Chain A
């Protein structure tokens, strides 16, 4: 089914923050906020749950480290043990540096990939901007009509009082 969206465009972060707070008081459903940079305080204002990425990264890091220690041990002590400079076959202390590097590698690559995944970012993706300029100097607050109690004119008024420079109504085939 189609959706009815109201986009309020602002030109600085204070107004945007105010608008977000106001919309939530009035119980409007905030689809999303678009900003040219990471506006601080928006997270609380929108009441978003904290991201779970750190946990994924932590797990991946451990995995990488574990695999590497095992691999080093297996290659030098099990698969083909050779006497190198009279050192023991299993020279664990010498394995630490590489283990650390691989841990970092796994964690970092994992972090980035999972970020792309959860944000659905991939090359050639069709970009959907609520209004032109949100990547330059515009801030956009997008509200969605949820039920019949939703009053477009009220939204309009609210946006204007919070010095929105421009308000528009969009009908989209499906939500983004």
Chain B
């Protein structure tokens, strides 16, 4: 994709033209069946054929003559992509996206480079959310008691019910997740106003409520500050997985990477305290495994140390000894103090007292106004768990007459049984869910929302940055956005477009001065996807010291296991349970797919006598919760008193995956005994003293005799070969090369092994006259967030193979992220992430052995794979030192016609029996070349962006022309940190890696991996 031929909406008619035209096209195309076309025609047409055919109950109309459009809309050039700026609704972070629309079909989401905080990055969830658009299991029409109905009926009956409620002054509650859309909030307020007893209750299944409550106490306002990791030179994170799932991962990753810039020699120091190995922890320079019950004491200790340096004497009693060595805390306190005003303390805890201490630390360090902004706070997590507590009380007493549920799934993501029973007490339960989830199945009425790429909406994720979501394709079915629904129930039924535009004219436009003319302002906002406006005024009081109370005692009794519930970046709170891409995305740390599991520290596992895959029973009979039986997974770096289980699994939305992947005599189901993918652990959540607790349950573990082999994409986890097989005098394999900051500052070249050019047998045989494509990956920047993996999957039509095939080590991802553990000098577990794809070797071993010339070298340095010539001997894969090749073991099914619409028409869908692999997104290269040729110029640097590079929030991937000395990639190739994997083989990969540089003092980074 090249910025040169990017097309945004500019004029109104064009924007009108979009959906209008799409609908015409739909009407016009529904005449034909999808099958009577060539592939391209099919892909062009099918968008609407199947879409609308679907809406009309999948009945294929008899074949008639194809009638071309009478007037071709000027913007739509067959085969050319249009990019529409929009806002991602994958989670509440509200990152800016560009929807790539091809022949009227959105086929990919890319980060919007101009967006103020996501800056072009997009996470795995965001990348994968395009599949939700083509999810054939999405609700197609309103439901009444689970049966199909239409909007007239639903509206009429709901409105009559509401009328009676009004007359009887009944209680109406609107239960939602965080709503970042100002227009929706306004509409909702208006709606609720009309009832005498009504309330909007917002909660986040992955709650940060404690942070807001803490600020209520310390600053007098309930707000979520806006963190600026790029401004922090020292980061102390207490179980905040800010690179993975915490609040706004993409933004934080981008910022974090900006704060660790080796080229400018400014590298932040990051300490992570956490009970389990999180993605963030895997990047930390110093990491301590801390039991969840110890965080309070730990924070208290640190506070005292910092206060001492600030010259403040706290009259606190002596707290328990902390599990973290005193000298380490002293060192951290020193570093924080030295970097006061340029440091940052973040805390993911749900204990308000701990959050208050964290605030106090930031206060002592003077981080407010620097790395922490309160003036234009983040609105990405507004949930209030206290409200939630009161709501369930109300529900249980049967006080609530009508409950609307939007954007959350309380019957699944909150302690289930309790909530199911509470919800069933409500006379009228209305769900807006897009899918038949647990709550929708209880609801009297389900009034489904369209996918966010099908409706108008807006988002103000961070106060002052208002962004717009615009539809890129007409709804395939009878769905209606919340905005429109509310307007109908409020008595006026406008189109979403009018509603949004009116709201912006009235409420957003006035908040800015730059643009006097609303139309111009609106058009620019739609075009850019966002507008910078004056943040809403927040009044914060000066820091209230009375709020600060020490935590002297560890909250749990000793030697008891704490159950830590955590979100994975693929499932989050379970909202992605419908998404096969994300189920098959290996967890960035454990590399397990298609399951959740109970991770244990190696010591605990040993004590229990369990290995990976042994099913263990988690028992909290004390709280009379039903037992949970999960396969064990041994996780280095985890605290010994912790068993960690991922949330978001065991959703009924995952029942559809039973038969995903090839079906043959030995095939196993992708689901567990419960017919679902994984098991729901939400019942172990605790809603206590005003906050949802994820880590407070004490549990007992026992092993069962049962087994369940986990589908893991990496079974050997270190760069060391097993002890007894280690050749004398050989260390860890130098696949990942790393050094320490101290050593790096002395010699930027440190840590790089063997990088001198090797002798070439035929140096001049194949000169690369034109461009020669190459890639450099900065391992220090890479966080392992895996968004590149999904981006690659979307871009290159990579099939989902299912749990059983992954278990057989046959996943198809062209790009994988290898994860290696090693032991640092201070005995901590270090983690290295290494994205690996086809290395496009100049002397490619795979090419020489292919008997039929199905893989050859292009004159611009690509290792080409010719699918239709491939016979499938797999010799190339055997001879690939990187094992970057993937083989189509079966014909992977493409039966779901609606889902097929997400396929990229520029990339062949591979048949059974052929080899495939990364091609450096050759289709994008060609597009850019053609465009450049059309313009009569050379391809400019940056014109070609590979899918992985584009989506990388850490901007760790550089791609471009190695023959152009000024291109970024060739500059990076000159970087002293650059090395190549398996340099000694002299296969001359076109991919370079930059060493990992850990911010440590000791120069001897003789990594003893293992």
Contacts and interface: CB of A to CB of B under 8 A. Distances in A.
A87 B853 contact: no
Interface in B802-850: 841-848, 850
A84 B856 contact: yes
Contacts of B858: 83
Interface string B841-873: 111111110100100111100000000000000
B765 interface: yes
B897 to A, nearest CB: 38
B988 interface: yes
A85 interface: yes
Nearest to A84: B847
B664 interface: no
B857 A83 contact: yes
A96 interface: no
A86 interface: yes
Contacts of A83: 766, 856-859
A42 B882 CA distance: 67
Contact of A86 (B765, B850, B853, B859): B765
A85 B760 CA distance: 12
Main secondary structure of the interface of B (DSSP, over half): loop
Contacts of A89: 765
B844 A85 contact: yes
A84 B859 contact: no
A85 B766 CA distance: 10
A175 interface: no
Interface string A145-176: 00000000000000000000000000000000
A84 B762 contact: no
B762 A88 contact: yes
A69 to B, nearest CB: 19
Nearest to A86: B843
Contacts of B841: 85
B510 to A, nearest CB: 63
Contacts of A78: none
Interface residues of B, number: 19
A85 B858 CA distance: 10
Main secondary structure of the interface of A (DSSP, over half): loop
Interface in A93-137: none
Contacts of B844: 85-86
A87 B765 contact: yes
A118 B644 CA distance: 86
A143 B842 CA distance: 76
B765 A85 contact: no
A6 to B, nearest CB: 63
A86 B856 contact: no
A82 interface: yes
A3 B843 CA distance: 76
A82 B853 contact: yes
Contacts of B856: 82-84
B764 to A, nearest CB: 10
B859 A85 contact: no
A157 B521 CA distance: 132
A85 B848 CA distance: 5
B857 A84 contact: yes
B857 to A, nearest CB: 4
A130 B843 CA distance: 70
B762 A87 contact: yes
A88 B763 CA distance: 10
Interface in A64-92: 82-89
A82 to B, nearest CB: 5
Nearest to B766: A83
Contacts of B988: 86
Nearest to B858: A83
A101 to B, nearest CB: 15
A5 to B, nearest CB: 60
Contacts of B850: 84
B555 to A, nearest CB: 62
A89 B765 CA distance: 8
Pick the most buried of A82, A85, A89: most chain B CB atoms within 10 A of its CB: A85
Given A83-B766, A88-B765, 18 more contacts: A82-B853, A82-B857, A83-B856, A84-B848, A84-B850, A84-B853, A85-B841, A85-B843, A85-B846, A85-B847, A86-B760, A86-B842, A86-B843, A86-B844, A86-B857, A86-B988, A87-B762, A87-B843
Interface of B: 760, 762, 765-766, 841-848, 850, 853, 856-859, 988
Interface of A: 82-89
Q: List 6 A-B pairs, minimum CB-CB distance, nearest first.
A: A85-B848, A85-B847, A83-B857, A86-B843, A82-B856, A84-B847
